[in-house]
Structure 1
Amino acid sequence: MKESLGVYDYWAYDQRPKIEWPGGAKVAFWVAPNIEYYELDPPLNPQRNPWPHPHPSVPGYSIRDYGNRVGHQRQMTLLDKYGIRGSVSLSVALCEHHPEIIQMCKERDWEFFSHGIYNTRYTYGLSEAQERAMIRDSMETIYRHTGQACAGYLAPALSHSERTLDLFAEVGEELFGDKGGIYTCDLFHDDQPTPVSVRSGKRFISMPYSLEMNDTIVYAVNKVEPRQYATMLKRHFDRLYAEGAESGTVMCIPTHNYQVSCPHRIKAFEEALEYITGHPDVWVATGREIADYYLANYYDAALDSMAAQATTAGKQG
């Protein structure tokens, strides 16, 4: 039985080189709208049923369709108001099904990263060749429709294999050199970017992407009221802002346009955005911008720090 994922080492939070974000910001803040496409009657996967009741799942499908028809525009208007460019966790089939949404995001210079092809087709059970082909398809589709070299990855419906990070880094390198395949959102283990080991040796990092602040986890799993979600987001920010005075932290709000954008919930999200962006020393950025800055300025120092801690731990052991 494995005792760890084997892609990163323990690295104490209070023993790291200081991070200084652009302009002296304490917090690098990004919003990751998950813009997804769910199939009404997807292929069966023996390891996971995409819908909780028999197909066709009209309620589940239609509320997600509501997100793309109504919720996306509502959320985009709000992000425009606060000068936030989204980093889209994209079900890339959306490029074919709803190119108008892709165009609206392109016009605003939003980032696009891969969230697989459909959010009803999983990594579970795929061979290495099949998973590589899926990742390549998603990255090539993003480039074909947006001109962007895909930098980040969030596995479809958080389905994951032991090879996922290796394959994403490798395919990104093959397609786009050091511009593609540089960060993952699938590790929820830190409040700062951290180096991740992949088998190719590529410079690769984990980006903070909080499941606890993810609106689907908040509303659908934990059954939190909207006003409490606003409070959670503010408290989350307050702690990261305070700690960011010592070394820069990262806050991500992952959203879904069929969750946060419902009429009774959108005000809570707006209150949190107004609060966060109303503070000085906040760098409002995209996931790619944060990853690029970290790789250019702190990645090597982070590796040195990790190696030094490992050596110290070995001597003590």
Structure 2
Amino acid sequence: MTNTTENELFDYSPITERPRISWPGGARVAAYIGLNIEHFLLDRPSTSLWPGTADLVPDALNYGWRDYGVRVGIWRTIESLDRHGIRASALLNSAVADHYPQIIEAGRVRNWAWLAHGRTNSILQTGMGRDEERRFLTEIVETIAAATGQRPRGWMGPGLTETFHTPSLLAELGLSYLLDWTNDDQPYRLNVPGMLSVPYSVELNDLLLFGKGVTGPEFVQIVKDQYEQLHADSAHSGRVMALALHPFVIGQPFRHKYLDEALEYLATQPDIWLTTSDEIAEHYQRTVSDSA
């Protein structure tokens, strides 16, 4: 007999049968930039450009590629965000606070939204028992709160990973939304009191797109296509557009001008609410009722 596990975290809800979402100012699409700010361990394999050396210790090729993001790429990305007046939703490994405090300070000055994104992208909490994971998540949240001066409200797991206990443990810690379940164009309530799922994207994501050979001009067109379709879909109810960025990918010199073009396009759309994931979650919680 085959054992199956039913999904108890959220219920099926077709997008055609939901309460209307109205974004501030009459905007039709709420958009945010999910800026992944990550720390990687020297002696563990992780996201790799070339898998042939991924299991070596040290793996200079792949570690160096990832390390470019915090040394160079993020500063180039920040320049573009500043140019277009965009606040980042920072998906932050808590270890960044110890290793790259200058990045934390740059985000504090710019009033970024800070989301917990695990300890490092080299360590996942999958396989942890509930008590072990509670201690692990508590340390992450407290470290980010102390470093940024802002207790995180949102969570995205490294590699979008969770255990069955993660959402309820995060709710215990006062967080109110997750980005891990990339299955919708609107926020929705989870079956954990006070907890939402907010849209994130593994498709509109520089790591996945450029990893598949997408060019800079194609990236700009993809951003435009995504917005245009969501705008069309939002005639009767608001939608969310998430643009996922990794500084070691989008921060490469030959890609930078295309990021700038994409951000310029978004920043000049009349029907967009260019905001943070925190503000999207808060607005939804406040304005959309369960019984609506």
TM-score, normalized by length of structure 2? 0.93
- Whether 1:252 and 2:214 are equivalent positions in the alignment is no
1:229 maps to 219
SS at the partner of 1:14? helix
- In structure 1, which of residues 89, 92, 98 is the aligned counterpart of residue 94 of structure 2? 92
2:14 maps to 12
CA distance, structure 2, for counterparts of residue 26 and residue 259 of structure 1: 29
Shift of 1:126: 1.4
CA distance, structure 2, for counterparts of residue 141 and residue 283 of structure 1: 30
CA distance, structure 2, for counterparts of residue 296 and residue 57 of structure 1: 47
Residues 2-51 of structure 1: per-residue CA shift (max 9 Å, x gap): 3642211111111211111000000111001000000111499xxxx9x7
SS at the partner of 2:163? coil
Matches within 5 A, 1:70-219: 70-172=72-174, 181-198=175-192, 202-219=193-210
CA distance, structure 2, for counterparts of residue 4 and residue 230 of structure 1: 39
CA distance, structure 2, for counterparts of residue 112 and residue 101 of structure 1: 12
CA distance, structure 1, for counterparts of residue 150 and residue 114 of structure 2: 7
2:278 maps to 288
Q: Which runs of 4+ in 1 moved over 6 A?
A: none
Q: Which amino acid aligns with 1:146?
A: T
Shift of 1:93: 0.3
Kept in 1, the 8 Å contact 2:161–2:180? The answer is no
TM-score, normalized by length of structure 1? 0.86
Shift of 1:223: 2.6
CA distance, structure 2, for counterparts of residue 83 and residue 246 of structure 1: 28
Q: CA RMSD in A?
A: 1.7
1:239 maps to 229
Kept in 1, the 8 Å contact 2:154–2:176? The answer is yes
Q: Which amino acid aligns with 2:9?
A: V
Shift in alpha-carbon separation, 1:260–1:43, aligned structure 2, 3 A: closer
Shift in alpha-carbon separation, 1:261–1:128, aligned structure 2, 3 A: same
SS at the partner of 2:250? coil
CA distance, structure 1, for counterparts of residue 161 and residue 78 of structure 2: 27
Shift of 1:158: 2.2
Q: Which amino acid aligns with 1:190?
A: D
CA distance, structure 2, for counterparts of residue 251 and residue 278 of structure 1: 15
* Count of aligned pairs: 285
Q: Which amino acid aligns with 2:276?
A: T
Shift of 1:256: 0.4
- Whether 1:304 and 2:291 are equivalent positions in the alignment is yes
Name stretches of at least 5 consecutive residues in structure 1 with no aligned partner. 173-180, 306-317
CA distance, structure 2, for counterparts of residue 263 and residue 150 of structure 1: 31
Name stretches of at least 5 consecutive residues in structure 2 with no aligned partner. none
Shift of 1:273: 1.3
Identity level (%): 36
Residues 157-209 of structure 1: per-residue CA shift (max 9 Å, x gap): 2222111111111122xxxxxxxx100000011000101112xxx21110110
CA distance, structure 1, for counterparts of residue 278 and residue 209 of structure 2: 25
CA distance, structure 1, for counterparts of residue 7 and residue 251 of structure 2: 35
CA distance, structure 1, for counterparts of residue 252 and residue 167 of structure 2: 33
Shift of 1:124: 2.2
Kept in 2, the 8 Å contact 1:95–1:145? The answer is yes
Kept in 1, the 8 Å contact 2:167–2:195? The answer is no
CA distance, structure 1, for counterparts of residue 103 and residue 247 of structure 2: 12
Shift in alpha-carbon separation, 1:84–1:94, aligned structure 2, 3 A: same
Q: Which amino acid aligns with 1:253?
A: L
Q: Which amino acid aligns with 2:187?
A: P
